[in-house]
């Protein structure tokens, strides 16, 4: 295989998707998996097995790909930019449902204006903040209730309920911390939904979830659906968090040694193949940019520098680097599989360790 090359281990994807589907069923919620990590139809089909078929996307490009592949119920889980509303509503026409996210009065006004102009009703979820402090209204405020009420009154809006994402789970230090974030994610969402229902607002959907919180969640009472995504591939960050084992990681980048020096190796997978995610520095300050894998497992090498096309690997202890001559192959498991995977226009799928089919992810936004 020419390098750098994105490898996907089919057996791991199959196992990861089956496990999550079963876990979510056992916990009594619907699975609306996120496809942002892999952005390809083949993995999406594995994710929805045994569930209702709804998915979550992070870009309209993903929405278009999956709509064309027959997925009928899609949630676009990023607050929609005003300039993309028309396009999103146009895409929704051919589907059972394309749900948009909003978290401000301005956005509600724009969605209402565009859907009135296009003579459609926009399916909408209100994004609430459960601690990530990125997007979303603060569910403790009166303004949050007022915005939900305004959504439910808007004539061209079909208000579906609320959505939150505990992305701050990635900053946890241990399982106890993860459990606390998972509990809060559920309690904040369900508590807010109850508050809205108390005000006479119908809230059919309570949508929560991330891979780390679903790895530890014990109770999903009151939650209608969950949206994990990273679990399809997992990555070195999930290994560090303890939410998967190294053998569960389905995505890696095959690379070739192009420089072998007494004190360092240079390989052909730089930031353009691995991304430049700093990894779990809060858990492992010297972690570098990924786990280097050789034939025997993890190599004592740190991905120390990532210019555009090269990576510089330094030995973690004084080691003989001559066993990795120019031309030798290594695999690197990145800390953020979604970012690294997004740098490739194809993944080579390994079945039984042998390269077989290729999956073509969608690119663009």
Establish if 75 lies at the interface with ligand PLP (CB under 6 A). no
Taking CB under 6 A as the binding criterion, the range among 24-32, 226-234, 295-303, 323-331 that sits at the site for ligand PLP is 226-234
CA angle 188, 191, 194 (to 5 degrees): 150
Helices 175-198, 142-153: inter-axial angle, 10-degree rounding: 60
- Cα 108 to Cα 207: distance, rounded to the nearest angstrom: 19
Taking CB under 6 A as the binding criterion, the range among 187-195, 228-236, 269-277, 279-287 that sits at the site for ligand PLP is 228-236
- Cα 193 to Cα 43: distance, rounded to the nearest angstrom: 32
Supply the minimum distance, in Å, between the C-beta of residue 320 and ligand PLP. 39
SS3 352: coil
Establish if 243 lies at the interface with ligand PLP (CB under 6 A). no
Establish if 324 lies at the interface with ligand PLP (CB under 6 A). no
Taking CB under 6 A as the binding criterion, the range among 62-70, 85-93, 114-122, 203-211 that sits at the site for ligand PLP is 203-211
Supply the minimum distance, in Å, between the C-beta of residue 178 and ligand PLP. 11
**Do the strands 205-208 and 225-226 form a parallel or antiparallel pair, or are they unpaired?**
parallel
Taking CB under 6 A as the binding criterion, the range among 184-192, 209-217, 241-249, 301-309 that sits at the site for ligand PLP is 209-217
Establish if 227 lies at the interface with ligand PLP (CB under 6 A). yes
Q: Which residues pair with 124 in a beta bridge?
A: 100, 159
Report CA 104 to chain centroid distance, whole Å.
24
Say if CB 362 and CB 69 are below 8 A apart: no
Establish if 186 lies at the interface with ligand PLP (CB under 6 A). no
CA angle 100, 106, 112 (to 5 degrees): 55
CA angle 227, 233, 234 (to 5 degrees): 80
Which of 8, 77, 190, 349 is close enough to bind ligand PLP by CB under 6 A?
77
Which of 99, 230, 256, 337 is close enough to bind ligand PLP by CB under 6 A?
230
Establish if 34 lies at the interface with ligand PLP (CB under 6 A). yes
Over the range 294-319, which residues count as b (16 or more CB within 10 Å of their CB) and which as e? eeeeebebbbebbeeebbbbbbeeee
Supply the minimum distance, in Å, between the C-beta of residue 355 and ligand PLP. 26
The phi-psi region of residue 208 (left if phi > 0; otherwise alpha if psi is between -120 and 50; otherwise beta) is beta
Closer to ligand PLP by CB, 184 or 299: give it.
184
Measured from the Cβ of residue 198, the count of other Cβ atoms closer than 10 Å reads 9
Closer to ligand PLP by CB, 229 or 361: give it.
229
Supply the minimum distance, in Å, between the C-beta of residue 311 and ligand PLP. 24
Which of 44, 136, 228, 270 is close enough to bind ligand PLP by CB under 6 A?
228
- Cα 3 to Cα 328: distance, rounded to the nearest angstrom: 11
* Residue list 125-164, contact with ligand PLP (CB under 6 A): none
Establish if 51 lies at the interface with ligand PLP (CB under 6 A). no
Taking CB under 6 A as the binding criterion, the range among 62-70, 172-180, 188-196, 229-237 that sits at the site for ligand PLP is 229-237
Q: Which of 203, 198, 105, 190 is nearest to 154 (CA)?
A: 105
Establish if 229 lies at the interface with ligand PLP (CB under 6 A). yes
Closer to ligand PLP by CB, 324 or 336: give it.
336
Which of 38, 165, 186, 310 is close enough to bind ligand PLP by CB under 6 A?
165
Helices 85-92, 60-68: inter-axial angle, 10-degree rounding: 10
Supply the minimum distance, in Å, between the C-beta of residue 25 and ligand PLP. 17
Closer to ligand PLP by CB, 38 or 324: give it.
38
Closer to ligand PLP by CB, 211 or 260: give it.
211
Considering CB under 6 A, how many residues would be counted as binding ligand PLP?
13
Indicate the length of the chain as a whole number.
365
Binding site for ligand PLP (CB under 6 A): 34, 56, 77, 165, 167, 209-211, 227-231
């Amino acid at each position: 295989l020419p390098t750098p090359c994105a490898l996907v281990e089919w057996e791991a994807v199959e196992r990861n998707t089956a496990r999550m589907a079963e876990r979510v069923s056992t916990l009594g919620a619907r699975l609306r998996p996120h496809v942002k990590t892999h952005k390809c139809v083949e993995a999406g089909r594995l994710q929805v097995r045994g569930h209702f078929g709804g998915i979550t996307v992070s870009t309209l490009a993903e929405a278009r790909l999956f709509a064309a592949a027959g997925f009928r119920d899609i949630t676009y889980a990023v607050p929609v930019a005003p300039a993309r509303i028309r396009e999103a509503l146009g895409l929704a026409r051919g589907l059972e449902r394309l749900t948009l996210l909003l978290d401000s009065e301005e956005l509600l006004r724009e969605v209402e204006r565009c859907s009135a102009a296009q003579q459609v009703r926009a399916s909408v979820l209100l994004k609430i903040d459960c601690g990530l402090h990125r997007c979303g209204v603060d569910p403790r405020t009166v303004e949050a209730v007022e915005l939900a009420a305004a959504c439910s009154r808007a004539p061209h809006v079909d208000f579906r309920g609320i959505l939150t994402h505990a992305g701050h789970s990635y900053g946890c230090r241990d399982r106890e911390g993860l459990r606390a974030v998972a509990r809060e994610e559920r309690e904040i969402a369900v508590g807010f939904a109850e508050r809205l229902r108390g005000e006479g607002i119908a809230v059919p959907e309570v949508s929560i979830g991330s891979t780390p919180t679903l790895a530890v969640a014990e109770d999903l009472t009151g939650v209608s659906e969950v949206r994990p995504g990273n679990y399809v591939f997992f990555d070195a960050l999930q290994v560090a968090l303890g939410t998967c084992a190294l053998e569960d990681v389905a995505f890696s980048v095959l690379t070739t040694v192009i420089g072998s020096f007494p004190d360092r190796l240079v390989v052909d997978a730089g930031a353009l193949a691995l991304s430049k995610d700093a990894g779990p520095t809060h858990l492992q300050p010297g972690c570098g940019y990924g786990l280097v894998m050789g034939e025997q497992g993890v190599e004592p090498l740190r991905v120390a520098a990532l210019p555009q096309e090269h990576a510089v690997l330094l030995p973690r202890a004084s080691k003989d680097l001559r066993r990795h001559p120019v031309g030798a192959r290594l695999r690197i498991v990145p800390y953020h599989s979604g970012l690294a995977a997004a740098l490739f226009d194809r993944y080579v799928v390994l079945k039984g360790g042998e390269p077989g089919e290729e999956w073509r992810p969608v690119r663009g936004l």
